């Protein structure tokens, strides 16, 4: 069974190194640009290509929840400075596992329901609610 030694070819090793290096660079760049002190304050909820909610998270006094209907039902919880998917009846519930979104660039996605929540800085959105 010496063939086992030749299973890995040069191209394979090259591919692994390139992909891992690219992924780490992208992650490092993301963490650097995210700037943890700058909290995301505008939450954008999209269903398909339509923005269904745009919420200024800094103006939330009392936490509340709302529902998103679609192929599946999502319950979204909003509180001061953060937002999360509280409940979902989709199969994998990845959006729930994403937890609280707090910083600019954080996103939670529910592919089966074509729903996405992403956070932006309040200055990034021209038509913010504070207008």
Helix (H, G, I), strand (E, B) or coil at 98: coil
Integer Cα distance of 96 and 109 in angstroms? 9
- For residues 24 and 80, which CB has a smaller minimum distance to another protein in the complex? 24
Report, in Å, the least distance between residue 61 CB and another protein.
28
- For residues 2 and 62, which CB has a smaller minimum distance to another protein in the complex? 2
Long-range pairs of 102-110 with CB within 8 A, sequence gap ≥ 24: 102/39, 102/40, 103/34, 103/36, 103/38, 103/39, 103/40, 104/34, 104/35, 104/38, 104/39, 104/40, 105/30, 105/33, 105/34, 105/40, 106/40, 108/84, 110/72, 110/74, 110/85
Pick the stretch among 26-34, 61-69, 76-84, 123-131 that binds another protein (CB under 8 A): 26-34
102-121 residues in contact with another protein (CB under 8 A) are 105, 107-109, 111-114, 116, 118
Residue that the structure tokens 């002190």 belong to: 37
**Would you count residue 3 as binding another protein (CB under 8 A)?**
yes
Rule CB under 8 A: choose which of 59, 64, 65, 97 binds another protein. Answer: 97
50-69 residues in contact with another protein (CB under 8 A) are none
Residues lying near another protein in the complex (CB under 8 A): 3-4, 6-12, 15-16, 19-20, 22-24, 26-27, 30, 46, 48-49, 71, 91-92, 94-95, 97-99, 105, 107-109, 111-114, 116, 118
């Amino acid at each position: 069974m010496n063939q086992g030694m030749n299973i890995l070819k040069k191209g394979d090793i090259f591919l692994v190194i390139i992909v891992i290096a690219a992924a780490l660079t992208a992650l490092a760049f993301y963490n650097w640009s995210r700037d943890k002190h700058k909290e995301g304050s505008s939450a954008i909820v999209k269903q398909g290509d339509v923005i269904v909610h745009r919420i200024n998270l800094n103006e939330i006094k009392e936490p509340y929840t709302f529902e998103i209907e679609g192929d599946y039902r999502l319950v979204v919880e909003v509180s001061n400075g953060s937002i999360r998917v509280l409940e979902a009846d989709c199969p994998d519930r990845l959006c729930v596992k994403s937890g609280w979104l707090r910083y600019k660039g954080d996103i939670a996605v529910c592919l089966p329901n074509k729903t996405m929540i992403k956070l932006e800085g309040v200055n990034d959105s021209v038509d913010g609610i504070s207008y």
